Chains A and B, each alone.
Chain A
Amino acid sequence: MKETRLGEFEEIILLLVGILEQEAYALKVADEFEIQTGRKVSIGATHSTLDRLSKKGFLTSKMGKPTAQRGGRRKRVYTISATGQEALKASKELRTSLWKQFPAFINLTFQT
């Protein structure tokens, strides 16, 4: 459980939770993942990653309001915790620093 590094899939899921805010529950995260990356993912896979990220302390969650579309069942809405934000930041900084050390691609980054 002490593993605090982020995998690629985990990082994207974490970011998506941040983007989706109040709508960040397993189904919506999975849908958004498909839209943003064009890759297929099952709800179960997304859910298990969300669960794992919560156990690592990067996410907190609470049960939301029940809605009619879900047969009156509540949903679990995830939000990024402080440690989660730190982990994202650390990961971004690592990448930027790596990018900077890679001269051939400096121009490329400025263009986009």
Chain B
Amino acid sequence: MAERRNVPPRLAERLLNWFVKDDLAEEISGDLEERFYADVRATSSFRAACNYWYQVIHYLRPFALRKSIWMSSANYAMYRSHVKIGYRNILANKWYSLMNIGGLALGMAATLLVGIWIYDELSYNREFENYDTIAQVMQTQNFSGEIKTDGNQPMQLAPVLRTDYADYFRHVVTSSFINNELLTVGENGATKITRTGNFMEPGIAHMLALQMLKGSRDALEDPGSMLLSETTAKALFGNDDPMGQDVQIGTMMEAQVGGVYQDLPQNSDFADLTFIAPWQLLNSTANFEERLGWGNNWFQTYVQLADRADVTQVSSLIKNAKYDNSKNGADAGSADTRPVIHLHPMKKWHLYARFENGLNTGGAIERVWLFGIIGIFILLLACINFMNLSTAKSVKRAREVGIRKTIGSFRNQLVFQFLSESFLVVFLAFVLSLLLVLCALPFFNALTDKVMSLPYANGWFWLVCVLFIFCTGCIAGSYPAFYLSSFRPIKVLKGTFSGGKGASNLRRAFVVFQFTISVVLVLGTVTVYRQIQHVKERPLGYDKNQILYVPINSPEVRKGFKTIRSELLLSSSIEEVAASDVLITGTVVTNSGFDWKGKDPAMSEEFRTLRSTHGFGNMIHWEIKEGRDFSRDFKSDSLAFLINETAANYMNLENPVGEMVQWGTNGSFKIVGVVKDMVTNSPYEAVKPTIFTLHYGGFLNFINLKLSREDTTQEALTHIEKVFQKYDPKSLFTYHFLDEQYARNFIDEERTGKLASFFALLAIFISCLGILGLSVFVAEQRTKEIGVRKVLGASVLSLWKLLTRDFLVLVFISCCIAIPIGYYYMNEWIQEYTYRTELHWWIFAVAVLGTLAITLLTVSFQSIKVAINNPVKSLKTE
């Protein structure tokens, strides 16, 4: 009785019967069953069932499999014939195939490029071994309601974190900001190069897991020894051994090379870290200990978390570390902004860098999404072309399908045939697209300012490619495959078949979809360029032309400024010379601690400040609204302020001239004038309250020079270089033009604009390719009709109208759909800028008319050709 309940597993039996040959089925299932019952008696029914499965699976051998499962030679011939017929079809319709494969290849190439770009963006910083545990300490401060988050920290923070929260951190590192430094080696400064690098505490070497080629990571522990990257070491010492050599950093510091590390990865935030000098060296040279308090957010703090520490948890623990310590110190004023600190993990540095109201609200990740979506859309457009052209061509192939079906093809086989044809085309397109990508990569790299390449050696890349081909093949081939194979042979062969209403409606819908996307992209491009143009045309309030600046590298230049100035002015091609702490194109220095009559006591103010020598304002041609400029005639001007109009409003002063302002311990300053607002920050933003003051001390960083005439620039440069060589022989003489510096504000936007226009052009091109194919097809179909019409007296014009009207209507519908979508998204985008262009109606009109014109051109090309054909030709045949 027990045996009855214990029957072999049904599923295994079913499986066996499915795959095994019929003539073997009886003996095999007999054997297995016999074994099963023997097992049940000998062991347990569970064991027996397991063994049954085991035996069934071991019957998956060629000799036992059914013919239909084991690929037979007959089937192989069928597959071969599919490929062959596909190949012949490609050759038979060369133009059509070229359009098809070319369009698809373009779409795929664009998607591949976008894919590589996204991969690059996502793998940013990922090469660091401690990617998951590194973080930067950020602070969120409240400036009278304006909440700002940044990574600037005082030097006092790191020691606090290190001692009070020792359990949570493996390393805490104070670091300066990455900077250009002059490195000098050899006797009498034989080799001088400028490299970007940083002053950092020793933990950084372990944190970044530097791959040491020479020396050890611990070298930074010694304040007299520094690390060089491989390329920097090469540049400084050539093939000589750099270890132990002296390197002079800037003019004040010197360190021995204690190690050489492998260059850091290009796509990382530390790509420019080409040397690391000990922070202690900078600290002792610049005397920071004495000068700086909790209010001087001059540095960055990096941490590596301890093994089991969690970012969010540690963030909430250290939240008040800065506030609690700063409010009690000598620098208590810095606590007014109620700083809250938190950790920003490395994996978010690149893609989630934006903070709004103290919250991490995204960043470059939006661009990744945007371009990802655009890439997919472009591919979709190309796939649609393929589908449209195939279904359109279907009428031609309908007979073939009919015959095949009559002879006895199954529908599955036909589906398979068409799918394999589409795979063939997709594969060819893919190969072509790889070539296109190879050609386009250098340009694309230049455009995106990256160093990307196709990752040939990466197995995953090829796997993704195969998947990509598969998906594209399925998307592009599915519709024709299922649609074509559904034809009823009797209808097709009788000749009453006409392609079907449903199919042509779907084609129309596809065309509308394609052009909607294209028009949206065109709208986007036009808007981006309008915005760039608008901001470029923004009146600056000063004259940036003919001004060049030289960075000050040594204290001797600061001290001897007056002599240098008068010597520079000896040249008639130099009009004016003035030094400043920041450039007028980017007043990045902010200061607080001001007090004036009528100031709201609750206000925690923040001003931009610009310190300069006399003549600076005159040189940039600023406009004084009230009062006067600084003057050498008034000795008291060393304690004078000029403020801009925004600052006057910000301070709520109706008659600012003559008012006194107390600036912390710096003294009491008198406002002597009001300057008309100038764009001294990002031109996309509103003007910030700014204070200008005279200064002849250690803060000066740049010497600005106004040239008198354009044609004597070279003369002036020779003179300037000579003077600087004389007064600062240790430094490398470098200069830049102010207008070039200003142009950098537009790099990002121009890049977006170029990318957008690239994609928009591609979309339009692919869509037009599709519509061209369709118009060829329609014209071909209606050859007879047109012939008859012509014979009966239709004019070329009326025929042209007849053939183009349909397409124009479709494109017009697309425009109607695209305008609101485009308006919505572009309005959203433009809101990010304070200083922005309007979305004028004519932008939309231009986009619509442009698209219509391009469509008309494309379609007319074919329709006119057909319309002027001799009707005799088209009617004679058959």
Interface residues of A (CB under 8 A from B): 25-27, 42-45, 47-48, 51-52, 63, 66-67, 69-71, 73-76
Contact = CB atoms under 8 A, between A and B. Distances in A.
Given A42-B54, A42-B58, A63-B27, A70 B63 contact: no
Contacts of B35: 27, 43
A27 B34 contact: yes
A75 B58 contact: no
Interface residues of B, number: 20
B27 A75 contact: yes
A39 to B, nearest CB: 14
A52 B63 CA distance: 8
B32 interface: yes
B64 A70 contact: no
Contact of A47 (B33, B62, B64): B64
B54 A51 contact: no
Interface string B18-34: 00000000111111111
13 contacts: A25-B31, A43-B55, A43-B58, A44-B61, A47-B28, A48-B61, A51-B63, A51-B64, A67-B34, A70-B33, A71-B33, A73-B33, A75-B31
Contacts of B54: 42
Given A27-B34, A43-B32, A44-B55, A73 B27 contact: yes
Contacts of A48: 61-64
B37 interface: yes
B59 A73 contact: no
Contacts of B31: 25-27, 43, 47, 70, 75
A73 B30 contact: yes
B61 A74 contact: no
B58 A44 contact: yes
A76 B21 CA distance: 15
A71 B35 CA distance: 12
Contacts of B30: 66, 70-71, 73-75
Contacts of B33: 69-71, 73
A51 B30 CA distance: 16
Nearest to A41: B58
Contacts of B60: 44
A74 B26 contact: yes
Nearest to A74: B26
A44 B64 contact: yes
Nearest to A66: B30
A74 to B, nearest CB: 6
A69 B62 CA distance: 28
A75 B31 CA distance: 7
Given A63-B27, A69-B34, A71-B33, 11 more contacts: A26-B28, A27-B35, A42-B54, A43-B28, A43-B59, A44-B55, A44-B64, A52-B63, A71-B29, A73-B27, A73-B33
Contact of B27 (A42, A67, A69, A74): A74
A44 B59 contact: yes
B29 A47 contact: no
Contacts of B55: 42-44
A73 B13 CA distance: 14
Contacts of A66: 30
A69 B41 CA distance: 12
A76 B64 contact: no
A9 to B, nearest CB: 14
A25 B24 CA distance: 13
A25 B29 CA distance: 13
A15 to B, nearest CB: 20
| Residue among B27, B28, B32, B61 facing the most chain A CB atoms (10 A cut-off) | B27
A25 B27 CA distance: 9
Interface in B128-152: none
B568 to A, nearest CB: 95
Contacts of A76: 27
Given A42-B55, A42-B58, A43-B58, A73 B64 contact: no
Contacts of B34: 27, 67, 69-70
Contact of A45 (B26, B28, B32, B58): B58
Contacts of B61: 44-45, 48
Interface string B161-185: 0000000000000000000000000
A73 B58 contact: no
A26 B27 contact: yes
Nearest to B8: A71
Interface in B22-72: 26-35, 37, 54-55, 58-64
A74 B34 CA distance: 11
A37 B55 CA distance: 19
Contacts of A71: 29-30, 33
A44 B27 CA distance: 12
Contacts of A63: 27
Nearest to B26: A73
Nearest to A29: B31
B14 to A, nearest CB: 15
A68 to B, nearest CB: 10
Contacts of A69: 33-34, 37
| Residue among A26, A51, A52 facing the most chain B CB atoms (10 A cut-off) | A26
Contact of A73 (B29, B37, B63): B29
A73 B29 CA distance: 8
A42 B53 CA distance: 11
A67 B58 CA distance: 24
Nearest to B25: A73
Contacts of A45: 58, 61
A66 to B, nearest CB: 8
Contacts of A74: 26-27, 30
A37 B673 CA distance: 108
B188 to A, nearest CB: 83
A83 B86 CA distance: 50
Contacts of B29: 71, 73
A60 B836 CA distance: 92
A47 B26 contact: no
Contacts of B59: 43-44, 47
Contacts of A67: 34
A82 B301 CA distance: 90
**8 pairs of A and B residues whose beta carbons are closest in the complex:** A73-B30, A44-B58, A42-B58, A70-B30, A44-B59, A27-B31, A76-B27, A48-B61
B61 to A, nearest CB: 5
A43 B64 CA distance: 12
Contacts of A44: 55, 58-61, 64
B30 to A, nearest CB: 3
A51 B59 CA distance: 12
A47 B32 CA distance: 11
A74 B62 CA distance: 23
Contacts of B58: 42-45
Contacts of B32: 27, 43
A71 B61 CA distance: 24
A75 B54 CA distance: 20
Contacts of A43: 28, 31-32, 35, 55, 58-59
A58 B604 CA distance: 102
Nearest to B61: A48
B98 to A, nearest CB: 49
A80 to B, nearest CB: 19
Interface in B332-355: none
